Structure 1
């Protein structure tokens, strides 16, 4: 195993060197003032062969943390814990060592036996920036002092912040030769940019045409040296003059310093005024909030900038001179001795606004008025809708819905202000692109205005379907269906209220019918009224309450209320098999008058013969018996745990959409688990066609939101889906106030030496095969390896399957025993979840013997009667205090509030699934604070994937509110980083 490092030098050399876990074979000599050969370093020639890269073999004097007798092994150097290496003694200091390495500009390689050190990872980040600059064309030629032609970076203002972060985050190992961080970063970035640009240009013919002979010779020589030999091959060429011209050119188009000029545009304070102000400022590149006005600079009050630059006044003049090449007015301001800003008219302000992007690209800061490039500053279309009817509570048949015709009218508007004919006429005659309308400045696009007026002449008003209106509400600003963006939707009907988030105003007070066996909490009454309102409209609903907030009781109340006035066709309720019994019990408890039929088992008959109000079945049977289900005209189809249809192409998802029903409801605590396509699948079930095809949804919403964090797309998605998704979380104090706190903690465990050895063996085996496989074969290999690694992290006996002893071989088991000992000592109860039923079976006898107590164990093979009996015993408070559950069988549908400790032994790597399991205890009825522990082995894939889990959680919050297949899509390099074993993983 190699630990790969990087040292950058002031002359731009990038030296890769590596520590080998198998070295040294002999005890190294004592470190002294003279640099001794590093005992762990791999010789440069051998390193080139092992990495498969070319480069010059070099030796670099490096200051490294060391004991008196040897350098401190890097954290990435995983040495065999069984090899018995002696631990050096003495004070750790920086001592010089002669490091053998490889000077190269190649991409950092990652063979299967290599782990990247902090320096190598840092080099990857710098190379990523260099490749980005070259890809965007942010490079310019230069001539060095030795007469060589080189490509140099030309960063923008945004790049300046990246450079500042790289300067601050440089690991000490990268500058181990003693060169300051800024010099190392500049030299390394220059080297990489030049190498990448030359590689990209390749054999391109860049010879210019149409130049005078002398200029052609000079330019041709320069281009040849930029693509081939960097030394200019024309001795008579005036390189100093050319170098100066290139330096000046590059300086005008790039910025990589810690402080830059910034320009702030202010609109006239007087409503009738025409004087706009452009302020000159200096701004810190890595902290844009640090701003110093030019007036403060001239007054000498700029001390805040002196930690970046010694002479802010000189820098300000230089920066303004550079900006004057883009905005000529700035150049004219330099005629004064102490320029502080500009005063321009409205036309000049618009000219400045249009050049703002150029200033930003050149590396300057630009602060524009908040209204610029917002809906409030644009002329757009405003839609007003109206329709008859005031929907109330549930009735037998809906006269409304997505196919209802509604009246509409289009108007031109600015933000929420509809423009009059006189205002439109004035705008059409405007001679400048910036005009003031009703006290606000508006950016007027004459072509868009003309197209909008033409659109109004032909389609100002009429009637269309609700579905069409909702499609228009979701259109992006640049969609060709409309000549201008939709800046507002208004009206006096239910559709306008839905699209503007005013559903609450439409909800009529609704109570459960007499005889219903529960008193609904206020938020549950609102949920019932919301579903009843959408039922009246014939629109589907997605009730996305957190687990434990009572989705079951709300749905049963809706069913009881709907049937209080007389019979109607049955409702089909689809749920996982583990929840069938729960629905039966809850229906009997809360709505005993409802007739319930379970469609399951070998003797299931014709659905048409079932005399029932609710027919309960499973997702598997829905797909298998789909022909039977499509023969019945259902009143309502309800999907519980609707995330089961998140894959729109799956068999059960297609089966659910094929079932005919008047009304559709999806119940789920996780409408988005991993990707927005899952939301599309659920919404397309509830309201078919609402979001268009899945391909259109990806283009309009999924890609902009997931890839680019597009808030406008997220807003449009919420506008369309918001009326049909009701999301409440139990931590919201407005929802429920009597639920105790939930305290989550992640507990890190060390591997034993045996576990570490097995873990590394599995990683080595996978990485030896994964690069040679692809497609389904690669995916299967990765998934099987991930399972094996998780088994190793749990216990060697689980991985080996040899029936060997349990005690003393697993760090995770030791931590579990410590935790359970505390739980039992306090008289508490605990739920212990594992995704491996076989592991649970191994633990039951061990834990029972260890704590001299009975241990309950629920898994997929547990019969329904025994499962119900175990739940009842545990909830009674008289049964065993430890309940072990397989995550798949016990993670949903159960109420186990007798426990106030939840322990996740291994990670499913889906936050929604884990939260659902936790919610077996953290739900209504819990009277104690719930402590949730997630056990992870430090330095393994469990810890590294946990960081990814936290990032995945943000997606659901953006749009609304899995398993581990997504890991198979990682690149080989990313996969290696995730599964690699860190040095700190092994315990004593």
Structure 2
């Protein structure tokens, strides 16, 4: 993505000649490959002798606005062409750019392109947008920066192009009326005209004028970005007292990291402070107000005071602040606190449904169906109050933007009022089916007239409110099920059975260890009692195939189960089974066979495997026809709301609309702007189809023991410290000389080496030398392991590195004179199952050493009551999944979880960064360690630098 457009490359562009408006080119890209050519990403794990090499590849150069249009259509390519994951990434980035432009998060600038002064729009990335920008940097596919540009430059160049194109699309009209300036006119006039012209170049401009105007515009951009410091100026708008027209606007200083640290300007002038305050907070306040006056000119009144602390506004001025200034101030990084009602749609719809008298019994019991007729009424509401058509007409006549309706202030605009008046003439009561009601709740009304409240009774109301599982008549443990379901599991079974009868899919999102497997198998047993003849297809990761096979044999031996996996799999095995278990990989390979079978349902276990809708396995799973579908996952959203859309689209295809519609309606408002209304609407739309219970909720399960987590601080030995410093100096010298994908790889390599040093010198050196007395971590593990086995307990020890586990296993076994089992990705399924069985059934105390990737999910290891994370992956979700191998139903003792951290090293510093950013952990850290590679060189040196206080 250079500064002038979008570059697409592929092996063959001939099918796209009539589809994409590109200029054929041949460009040099640096790609992973061998001497024979580039390798596909999927082959990276197995191919050998892969290096970054330059290749000449065919490409299409798509200019500016055409690039924006191409990316906007990436999700809707149809049969003409297929957008890959990298192009879809750029499509999401294009949506972000359009959103920035719509919200005015851009400034006009004068830049030089090819030696020619050019008028361009540039994004302003501050406040909440900065977090989104970091997410895009962390998630950038390597191929996007294959041109060799640094990651930061590549992303910024891409955003520059897309924001400029978005701005010109949004503002096709000239900014200033009058005659179009000619080539001899003032440069400033020509520049303003070029901001919306087809040709943004300013040919023939005098260098002195270019420098002068460029410098002034650059100062403007720098001032817009200055609000990104540790302390920001904040504004609080308060309502007038009843019967009055004076609104209060209070100024304050607020911590950018912790919004609870808030100091009103009156206290700033009195000399008060909070932690992290700059040396001269009064100067910070005045400077911030000086910048803010550009966005809210009325502030100049308050700046006339020697010590400005607040100002009063009338209702018209308050509306101007709400509508225009507040969004600009917030987007520019200022703090803005508004009344709770601010930003909500002033006029909305309330849907009320009531069971028909003749159907009340059916609605309350098992006879409920989506074809059931219910009485409905649609009312117009403003704030919390229902309004009549007459009241609405009077408000429209008055044309007052802020009004107090029955004691509550609300904000109105012409578009909403027009939409509401138009809705008055539509059918507002009568009968509709329960299915139509449910679809209206999911659709959520219109953009200008949203559905803000639903009042439904009976089972339909329970379903819409997400309380159906608690209010449905429990089915109870089905006869023939070899076990006893807990009360919350019976409610889960009733909910799954209820949705199944309606032909709806659902997400069973119970916390890990609460028995999603048992609830699913009990559903199959119940359906066989109901006379359901069609089989169920269960798709899961390879590591869980044996678990499902054994649990099915244990709980539901009457269910005919067939494992459709491996070289011996046969089609006739599918045709004679009640439950077919396969893997995600096999589902892709055997898609034609699986599509040809009639399925009662498709169940996806560990459904986060289909969270990325563009992957082959997600597309394959969605293509398998079934009457209903169930997703089983403890983490329906790991990083982004798009994952929820992907899983929901599997369960109930089309219910949430196309991905692009979901992104515009929910994802961008919630993730970028923290829109509470959008979050409420999404919860209302998905609530009927998601059942989520937590282990920590004592009302769900009261007999699960406690999980006690602690950090174990380890010191480096002198040998480790020497090695650590040597690696830092060597790797920083290499990093400083590299850029782009090469730099990113060097940063990851440095992190790996430093973590290996923290584990043990031998882990880095691989020289086969002795292990004792050379590692602070190993010494602490030896002590802890001795205590565990002496107490007669068992422990799980997780490591990120299989090579280290291979070295550690025989050493610990000899040191403890006890069995130390070792599970890693290279084991066969039979050997893996045997190790789990031995650990679970053996009477003697022992350690189970496990590779984090190979054993992080799918195993039941409740024989352990200790969990040790020897080295950290820095992804809380991954660590929690690994811990839950022991902390799950069947565990009768408290579980002690210890996370080893070497003091003074990057391990301690990254742990501290995670603790400071708990609220952002899922989006910033959730993708692994890639976000660290985006830090600047000085930040990396500070992160890697060894604190000698952590050496013994």
What is the TM-score with the length of structure 1 in the denominator? 0.63
Q: 1:854 to 1:449 in 2, by over 3 A?
A: same
Q: Which residue of 1 aligns with 2:349?
A: 381
Match of 1:654 among 583, 595, 619: 619
Q: Which residue of 1 aligns with 2:92?
A: none
- Once the two structures are TM-superposed, the CA of residue 618 in structure 1 deviates from its matched residue by 1.7
Q: Which residue of 2 aligns with 1:371?
A: 341
Are the aligned partners of 1:730 and 1:736 in contact in 2 as well (CA < 8 Å)? yes
Match of 2:638 among 658, 662, 673: 673
Query: Could you report, residue by residue, the CA deviation over 1:66-95 in whole angstroms, capped at 9, with x for unpaired residues?
Result: xxxxxxxxxxxxxxxxxxxxxxxxxxxxxx
For structure 1, the 5+ residue unaligned runs are 1-133, 140-157, 163-203, 211-219, 231-249
What pairs up with 1:131-280 in 2 under 5 angstroms? 265-269=238-242, 273=243, 275-278=244-247
Q: Secondary structure at the match of 2:398?
A: coil
In structure 1, how many angstroms separate the alpha carbons of the residues matched to 2:247 and 2:767?
Answer: 77
In structure 2, how many angstroms separate the alpha carbons of the residues matched to 1:969 and 1:461?
Answer: 58
Q: Secondary structure at the match of 1:819?
A: helix
- Once the two structures are TM-superposed, the CA of residue 932 in structure 1 deviates from its matched residue by 0.8
Q: Which residue of 1 aligns with 2:934?
A: 970
In structure 2, how many angstroms separate the alpha carbons of the residues matched to 1:254 and 1:890?
Answer: 45
In structure 2, how many angstroms separate the alpha carbons of the residues matched to 1:571 and 1:721?
Answer: 24
Query: Could you report, residue by residue, the CA deviation over 1:3-58 in whole angstroms, capped at 9, with x for unpaired residues?
Result: xxxxxxxxxxxxxxxxxxxxxxxxxxxxxxxxxxxxxxxxxxxxxxxxxxxxxxxx
Q: Which residue of 1 aligns with 2:387?
A: 419
**Farther off after superposition, 871-880 or 714-723:** 871-880
Q: 1:424 to 1:577 in 2, by over 3 A?
A: same
In structure 1, how many angstroms separate the alpha carbons of the residues matched to 2:519 and 2:879?
Answer: 24
Are the aligned partners of 1:771 and 1:972 in contact in 2 as well (CA < 8 Å)? no
In structure 2, how many angstroms separate the alpha carbons of the residues matched to 1:900 and 1:983?
Answer: 34
Q: Secondary structure at the match of 2:425?
A: helix
Query: Could you report, residue by residue, the CA deviation over 1:650-703 in whole angstroms, capped at 9, with x for unpaired residues?
Result: 222222112111111111112222333322222221111223333333333333
- Once the two structures are TM-superposed, the CA of residue 722 in structure 1 deviates from its matched residue by 2.3
- Once the two structures are TM-superposed, the CA of residue 553 in structure 1 deviates from its matched residue by 0.9
Query: Could you report, residue by residue, the CA deviation over 1:549-606 in whole angstroms, capped at 9, with x for unpaired residues?
Result: 1111111111111111324111111222222222222222222222212222322111
What pairs up with 1:430-829 in 2 under 5 angstroms? 430=398, 432-457=400-425, 473=441, 482-492=447-457, 497-504=462-469, 507-607=472-572, 610-752=575-717, 753-754=719-720, 757=723, 760-761=726-727, 764-765=730-731, 768=734, 772=738, 774=740, 786-829=751-794
In structure 1, how many angstroms separate the alpha carbons of the residues matched to 2:500 and 2:457?
Answer: 20
Q: Secondary structure at the match of 2:474?
A: coil
Match of 1:855 among 799, 820, 825: 820
In structure 2, how many angstroms separate the alpha carbons of the residues matched to 1:764 and 1:475?
Answer: 57
Q: Which residue of 2 aligns with 1:889?
A: 854
Q: Secondary structure at the match of 1:536?
A: helix
Are the aligned partners of 1:279 and 1:293 in contact in 2 as well (CA < 8 Å)? no
In structure 2, how many angstroms separate the alpha carbons of the residues matched to 1:329 and 1:651?
Answer: 58
Are the aligned partners of 2:352 and 2:455 in contact in 1 as well (CA < 8 Å)? yes
In structure 1, how many angstroms separate the alpha carbons of the residues matched to 2:929 and 2:261?
Answer: 40
**Farther off after superposition, 709-718 or 740-749:** 709-718
**Farther off after superposition, 818-827 or 591-600:** 818-827
Q: Which residue of 1 aligns with 2:75?
A: none
Are the aligned partners of 2:874 and 2:911 in contact in 1 as well (CA < 8 Å)? yes
Are the aligned partners of 1:797 and 1:803 in contact in 2 as well (CA < 8 Å)? yes
In structure 1, how many angstroms separate the alpha carbons of the residues matched to 2:229 and 2:578?
Answer: 71
Are the aligned partners of 1:767 and 1:976 in contact in 2 as well (CA < 8 Å)? no
Q: Secondary structure at the match of 1:418?
A: strand
Q: 1:915 to 1:261 in 2, by over 3 A?
A: closer
Q: 1:802 to 1:751 in 2, by over 3 A?
A: same
Are the aligned partners of 1:540 and 1:724 in contact in 2 as well (CA < 8 Å)? yes
Are the aligned partners of 2:264 and 2:309 in contact in 1 as well (CA < 8 Å)? no
Query: Could you report, residue by residue, the CA deviation over 1:445-464 in whole angstroms, capped at 9, with x for unpaired residues?
Result: 24421232124435757999
Query: Could you report, residue by residue, the CA deviation over 1:387-428 in whole angstroms, capped at 9, with x for unpaired residues?
Result: 987578889xx9649xx9998765422134332233223323
Q: Which residue of 1 aligns with 2:59?
A: none
In structure 1, how many angstroms separate the alpha carbons of the residues matched to 2:464 and 2:665?
Answer: 18
- Once the two structures are TM-superposed, the CA of residue 742 in structure 1 deviates from its matched residue by 1.0
Q: 1:229 to 1:710 in 2, by over 3 A?
A: closer
In structure 2, how many angstroms separate the alpha carbons of the residues matched to 1:782 and 1:588?
Answer: 48
Q: Which residue of 2 aligns with 1:987?
A: 951
- Once the two structures are TM-superposed, the CA of residue 530 in structure 1 deviates from its matched residue by 1.7
In structure 2, how many angstroms separate the alpha carbons of the residues matched to 1:825 and 1:432?
Answer: 77
- Once the two structures are TM-superposed, the CA of residue 738 in structure 1 deviates from its matched residue by 1.5
Q: 1:526 to 1:206 in 2, by over 3 A?
A: farther
In structure 2, how many angstroms separate the alpha carbons of the residues matched to 1:438 and 1:675?
Answer: 39
- Once the two structures are TM-superposed, the CA of residue 847 in structure 1 deviates from its matched residue by 0.7
Q: 1:530 to 1:258 in 2, by over 3 A?
A: closer
In structure 2, how many angstroms separate the alpha carbons of the residues matched to 1:284 and 1:870?
Answer: 59
Q: 1:440 to 1:699 in 2, by over 3 A?
A: closer
Q: Secondary structure at the match of 1:432?
A: coil
In structure 2, how many angstroms separate the alpha carbons of the residues matched to 1:772 and 1:308?
Answer: 36
In structure 2, how many angstroms separate the alpha carbons of the residues matched to 1:947 and 1:941?
Answer: 10
Are the aligned partners of 1:416 and 1:487 in contact in 2 as well (CA < 8 Å)? no
Q: 1:621 to 1:433 in 2, by over 3 A?
A: closer
For structure 2, the 5+ residue unaligned runs are 1-103, 110-125, 131-183, 191-205, 217-222
In structure 2, how many angstroms separate the alpha carbons of the residues matched to 1:616 and 1:465?
Answer: 36
Are the aligned partners of 2:545 and 2:582 in contact in 1 as well (CA < 8 Å)? yes
How many residue pairs end up in the alignment? 737
Q: Secondary structure at the match of 1:818?
A: helix
- Once the two structures are TM-superposed, the CA of residue 985 in structure 1 deviates from its matched residue by 8.1
- Once the two structures are TM-superposed, the CA of residue 279 in structure 1 deviates from its matched residue by 5.5
- Once the two structures are TM-superposed, the CA of residue 493 in structure 1 deviates from its matched residue by 7.0
Are the aligned partners of 1:746 and 1:936 in contact in 2 as well (CA < 8 Å)? yes
Q: Which residue of 2 aligns with 1:831?
A: 796
The reply to whether residue 922 of structure 1 matches residue 891 of structure 2 is: no
Are the aligned partners of 1:671 and 1:682 in contact in 2 as well (CA < 8 Å)? yes
What is the TM-score with the length of structure 2 in the denominator? 0.65
Are the aligned partners of 1:391 and 1:537 in contact in 2 as well (CA < 8 Å)? no
In structure 2, how many angstroms separate the alpha carbons of the residues matched to 1:691 and 1:503?
Answer: 20
Q: 1:892 to 1:471 in 2, by over 3 A?
A: same
Are the aligned partners of 1:261 and 1:280 in contact in 2 as well (CA < 8 Å)? no
Are the aligned partners of 2:639 and 2:927 in contact in 1 as well (CA < 8 Å)? no
Q: 1:877 to 1:412 in 2, by over 3 A?
A: same
